[in-house]
Amino acid sequence: MDQRNVTESSEYMEFQNHVHSLIGKGRVPSLSIAVTRHDGLVHSSSFGYADLSSRKLATPGTQYLWFSISKVVTATAVLKLADEGLIDLTAPISEYIPSYVSKNGNNQPTVGQLLNHTAGVANPMPIRWVHPTGDSNFDSRGFLERQLERNGKPKYPVGQGGRYSNLGYLILAEIVNQASKVKFEEYVRQQILRPIGMVNTDYVYGEGLDQAVGYVRMPRLVAPIFKALLPKGVVGERHGDFQSLQPFLVNGVGYGGLVGDVVEAARFAALHLSDGMGDGKRILSSETVRSMRQIQTPGKPFNFGLAWFRKSINSEPEFVEHYGGGAGFFNVMRLYPGLDQGIVLMANTTTAYDFETLFNLLIKVPWN
């Protein structure tokens, strides 16, 4: 079935009607989607406005902040180095970051436990973990050091259930720095993103590329409080029920710093569907990629694999996923390995929308 016939199918029309309903009810200003198989993109489309003020339509090339979907990329970098023998997943974190030591000398958290959130790492609220794109004085190293000063030891029992932690993935990015002898961002660019054709996805906004404005739906009376909570220069103008955000970047890129579009995000999803091959290049071993998708660790609020998670231990059809939510954006990347299908949703809204219905509709579309 060609693309024209697919988009005219009753299944796709039902999906499209649901998206229009979300936009019409003011749940999301825009939504972009991409569907991929292991061997490449199947479909991409966008709905609504990337910028409500200018009425600029979103396109599949519109850039969104990934937020925590970035964690799967961070995990991929760690496991690539592990495949190459440069990171020992069984080694204590302190082997790479000497200051991070548990009070229990016999049970030190390991690098591998950071990946599935069982290292007991605290998860401080990341309310001000952002800075305007024009802030040239931001010090990423100093930011990590301050977080480790405040949370330099495990807060929860080590190895006893997964507890989601942004800080754990900041630590993993630093371990990549130490093991590769290359700055984390540059390592990810050189070893993962660029080799699989992700040329416009980065830890900064791409020059000359369309950007989605982030929006937070809130009462007008709450807006001054919201503005006071975030760093100066992040909160923008009001537009109807939405508070806009000026372009900003995430402090500590390892936990949520990527910026890019759904089409390139689908390339990354295809890498994991193809068991480690991307654009004809071997990035991870097939065994490593499959191990990432094994949801074996019960936890809160998710059950974990290595970066990938799922709320339930079992699902039908089986899938793994990761959310990426924060101020102004909410995204989901989901893999259905048994269907050879990966789906990426990106929206410029803080509020979680009804993405479960969207996935259930999309997997019924006759893409083949």
**Cα–Cα distances in Å, from 298 out to 160, 328, 352?**
9, 30, 23
pTM metric for this prediction: 0.96
Name the domain count of the chain. 1
Q: Environment class of residue 335 by beta-carbon count within 10 Å: exposed (0-12), middle (13-18) or buried (19+)?
A: buried
Classify residue 368: in a domain, yes or no. no
Identify the pLDDT of residue 1.
Answer: 47
Q: Residue 256 sits in a domain of what CATH number?
A: 3.40.710.10
What tens-digit pLDDT sequence spans the chain (368 residues)? Answer: 456 688 899 999 999 999 999 999 988 999 999 999 999 999 999 999 999 999 999 999 999 999 999 999 999 999 999 999 999 999 999 999 998 998 877 789 999 999 999 999 999 999 889 999 988 788 888 999 999 999 999 999 999 899 999 999 999 999 999 999 999 999 999 999 999 999 999 999 999 999 999 999 999 999 999 999 999 999 999 999 999 999 999 999 999 999 999 999 999 999 999 999 999 999 999 999 999 999 999 998 899 999 999 998 778 899 999 999 999 999 999 999 999 999 999 999 998 899 999 999 999 999 87
Classify residue 367: in a domain, yes or no. no
Q: DSSP string covering 210-266, please?
A: -BPPEEEE--GGGHHHHHHHSPTT-EEEEETTEEEE--EEESSHHHH--EE-HHHHH
Query: CA-CA distance, 119 to 108, in Å (whole number)?
Result: 8
Classify residue 81: in a domain, yes or no. yes
Classify residue 37: in a domain, yes or no. yes
Q: For residue 194, give every residue at least 6 positions away whose Cβ sits within 8 Å of its Cβ, in sequence order, or none.
A: none
Identify the pLDDT of residue 4.
Answer: 64
| Residue range of the domain that includes 308 | 3-362
Classify residue 260: in a domain, yes or no. yes
